[in-house]
Amino acid sequence: MVRSLLLVGFGGFIGTVLRYLTSLFFQVNTYSIFPWGTFSVNILGSLLIGIVYGLSEKVGVLSPEMRLFLTVGICGGFTTFSSLTNDAFILMQDKEWLKLSLYTSLSFFLGLLAVFIGRNLIKLL
């Protein structure tokens, strides 16, 4: 149990730092009310978790500990539902209805598509 907690904690640290750096990149390089940083990490994180679960379905490719580290740890720290909902709230508060609709629907559907692509990419290998 302690080993699992350390794996998740260390992975979460890595994922959180990567999320911060990705969001910072978009803040510095884009001038838009659209939350590109959060949007990007959530779609990329969905692709990564699809790849990891695709790999874990192949016998012997990933250990349960490595899957825990990568999915709950890194992907869990990298993606962020709370930031997504806060960004959506800000768009709603600013009455940016079209951007709010695009952001929430694209976040969900592209995230779902990214998981699908990630899992199926591994099946092709």
Rg (CA), the chain: 16
pLDDT in the model for residue 82: 85
Tell how many helices (H) and how many strands (E) occur in the chain: 6, 0
pLDDT in the model for residue 46: 94
Per-residue pLDDT reduced to its tens digit, 74-121: 999 999 898 899 899 999 999 999 999 999 999 999 999 999 999 999
Give the domain range for residue 112.
2-124
Per-residue pLDDT reduced to its tens digit, 11-68: 999 999 999 999 999 989 998 889 999 999 999 999 999 999 888 888 778 888 999 9
pLDDT in the model for residue 31: 87
> Which amino acid belongs to residue 17?
V
pLDDT in the model for residue 44: 94
Please, which pLDDT band fits residue 124 given cuts at 50, 70 and 90? Answer: confident
Q: How many domains does the chain have?
A: 1
Pairwise CA distance, residues 120 & 125, whole Å: 9
